Every structure is written in structure tokens, then in C-alpha cells.
Amino acid sequence: MKNKILIHSIVFSPDGVSTAYLYNDIALKFKENGYDVVVLTTTPHYNVVDAQLLEQPLLSKLRGLYYQSDFKGIKVIHVPQKKFRSSILRMIGFVYWHFLSLILGLFQKNISIILSPSPPLTIGFINLIIGKLKGAKVIYNVQEIYPDFLINQGGLKFKPIISVLKHLESIVYNKSNAVTTIDNVFYNTIANRFNDVNKLHIIPNFVDTTLFKPVNLSEITLDPILFPKDDSLKIMYAGNIGHAQDWEPLLEVAKRIKDLNVGFWVIGEGAMKAYLMEQIQLHHLDNIHLISYQPRKDMPALLAYADLHFIFMTPEMEGQGFPSKVYTIMACSKPLMVISSQNTPINNFLKPLHCSFIIEHTTLTDKCDAIISNIKECLADRTVLDKFGQNGFDVIEKEYSKGVVSQKYVELSDQILNI
């Protein structure tokens, strides 16, 4: 009989977000290696993509108590979830998702192993209960460190809740059969929270190099009104327009270099999009183009369109996560400009690779001065962009393709199951 893996994630296909795409590929790798795979997740609510819903329709079960779909031969169970504006409704939905996930997880037969990513931290605890009652091993994947993320973001200050979450974190780490994290910074941050540090493994994230790859500019077919083909230096951010990104340097730089042949493209949706739009209109920043979310299939063309891609991390968030878009940009042979302090995951990863401009300054003025200096360097000699792009591409091909990295999850599971 095949070993059966339950992948338990808050997002999965057809939700159109980076963690969903990551775990889509991990699920397929387990299937390819002979595992029986079932996924327990939510209904799409982070980024609903109509085209993906048509390809993977959700079928109502028990009059809508939950839904089921098929992802390339893998059964996917969806607990209804919505992106509520109300904090109370979000909390109710969160509790409902956990409760129903526990019930549906316990109804799965012959589970050998459970794998899930954070956030949220509580998903790891639910998996421990399922694993205990079903006799299954548990792997917890730390994509973001909780409760540190909430504390450093400034949204969690109530000490009793912090104490409870830290205790929960200790339980999840020490009761799981294995814990994986994405880089050395995360490893060093949480290693002393383990009774047995041998449980902790580093498995980086990865990129689908069959989709994200260099594209010849002549092959790009984008809307010429939104993406004109001219000789300006095109600098882009494509992703969530949220609080994790520092938008002030972008706005200030755009004000200061209106006379240069430079355009900025910001593509996506998120909590800070309205603020950006307001500032662009207030200061007449015609050199910033704010564009709605674009389909994932168009991302290689969008990445190819830009000469340089920027990721400006806020001081509060820079140590709490690693933007997966770094890999996709590098896979498309494009250079980056990053704001992040020393000894953060993104800084430590990029610095030795010579594929990016890294800005470590702390004041807004110094950040903007460095950005403008880098831009002027690129305007004077664009060959530096090609060199950085090629350096990044070479690293991805060798070490961070989806085939190479997703196999490491399979090998860790085989090891835990003594296969």
C-alpha cells in the first residue's frame, strides 16, 4: 500500500498566491514519487483567479459544508473561507476553518505523514492532534516565524496572548517529527527553541523554471498602453502591495528624479494600494504606473519587460520572511534592487551572489540617495543589469529549481517514515 501524505495548508490551487504555487509543486512531487496525496485547504480567498477556478472547479459537499476539487489527479478538500473586512468575522472564520479542518482531517484514512506551512502557527497544533489520533508523522514548515512576525509588526502587544503563542510555538516545534525552515537566518533564530535541534532542517523555497525563465523582449505581448516599448529605464515591483514593503523611498525617489528617463511600475493588489494611488495623484507622479493584478501566466513577460526589479522591505518585517518573488526574478535573468538591513534572510541570500543592488541604510534620505545612485549607474551603463541578471539565473538553475528543492521534502518524509 502507498504511503499517504496529507498536505494541510491555508492556501492551495486554485488560490493564486505564492505559497499556493509552492505547495502545488510539492504535492505533485510527492505524487510523482509514489505517494497517495490529499490536500486539506480553504476555498480560494486570498487571490481569486477566475481562469484557475474554471480549470479546477469546486464541487459542493454536504450542502456546502465543504468543497472538493481535483488538482492534476490530487484530491483537494476546501473549507469555506472568505476575506472579511470585519475583524470579528475574520476571527470567526479562522476558528471555523480550524474546527472543520480537524474534523475533515480525522476522516482521512491511512495517513502516514502530514506536511503544512506556516502561517498560521495554529495549523501546526491541529496537525499534531490529527497525527496523534491517526498515528501519522508531522512535518511543520516555517515560512514565517510566529509569534515574532506579529510582535515585530506592532500588532501584538498583549503579554498574556504573547505568552500563550510562544508556548504553542514550543509545542509545535518540539512535538513535530521534523521542522523545516527556509534559510540560515531563520534556522539560527529558532534553533534554541528546540529541545532537540536535530529536528530542524533547512529547505529553501524554489521557483518553477519551466514557467519562469528568460524571455526575449521581441516575444513580449503586453498591452502597449500600460507597458510602452521605449528606451526608459523600467523599474518594477509585482506582488502584494502591503505593509511589509516600504513605499516611502519609492515615492520620494520618484519625486526627485522626474527629469530622468526612468519609469516605475507597481503591479498588484493590497492594503497599501489606495495610499499609493493617493500619493501618486497628490504629487503628480506620472513616472509611477500603478497597475492591477496580472495573471500568473503573464508574469515572465512582465518580469522581462522591466530592466530592474525592486523589493523595499520595512525594518519591522525584513527579518520575518523571504519574498519568493526573489527566485522568480532571478529565474527570468533579471537584476534586483533591495532595501534590507544586514543579517536578514534576503540580504544574506543575495549579497554573495552579485545579482542585486543591496541598500542597507536606515534613514529615508540615505536610502533614497543610494537608490538614485544605483539608477544613475544603470543609466550610464546598462551592461551591469545584464551581468547581475545572468549571475542570478545561474544560481537558480543550479540550486533552486522546483525539481531539486521539492525532492528534498520527499527525501525528508522518506527518512522519517524509514522508507
Q: Residue 308 to residues 227, 303, 332, 371, 375: CA-CA distances in angstroms?
A: 15, 9, 11, 12, 9
What pLDDT was estimated at residue 318? 75
CATH architecture observed for domain 4-206+402-416: 3-Layer(aba) Sandwich (3.40)
Interval 367-378: pLDDT, tens:
999 999 999 999
Domain with CATH 3.40.50.2000 in the chain: 4-206+402-416, 217-399
CB 30 within 8 A of CB 42: no
Indicate if the pLDDT at residue 206 is higher than 90: no
Q: What is the pTM of this model?
A: 0.77
Our CA angle for 362, 367, 369, nearest 5°, is 140
Q: Which CATH number fits domain 217-399: 3.40.1030.10, 3.40.50.2000, 3.90.1560.10, 3.40.710.10?
A: 3.40.50.2000
Percent of the chain with pLDDT strictly greater than 70: 98
Interval 110-130: pLDDT, tens:
999 999 998 899 999 999 999
Interval 14-52: pLDDT, tens:
998 888 989 999 999 999 999 999 999 999 988 777 888
3-class secondary-structure state, position 70: strand
Tell me what the mean pLDDT of segment 393-400 comes to.
90
How many C-alpha atoms does 283 have within 13 Å on its Cβ side? 18
Interval 147-179: pLDDT, tens:
777 776 666 677 788 788 899 999 999 999 999
Q: What are the residues facing 74 on neighbouring strands?
A: 71
Strands (E), 292-418: 308-312, 336-339, 356-359
Tell me what the mean pLDDT of segment 70-82 comes to.
95
3-class secondary-structure state, position 134: helix
Q: Hey, what's the cell of 109?
A: 484514512
The least confident of 50-64, 144-158, 176-190, 195-209 is 144-158
Interval 287-329: pLDDT, tens:
999 999 888 788 899 999 999 999 999 887 777 678 888 999 9
Q: Which of 52-56, 101-105, 150-154, 270-274 has the highest mean pLDDT?
A: 101-105
3-class secondary-structure state, position 29: helix
The residue type of 156 is L
Q: Hey, what's the cell of 295?
A: 495573471
Q: What is the DSSP string of 202-257?
A: E----B-TTTS----GGG----TTTS--SSSEEEEEES--STTB--HHHHHHHHHT
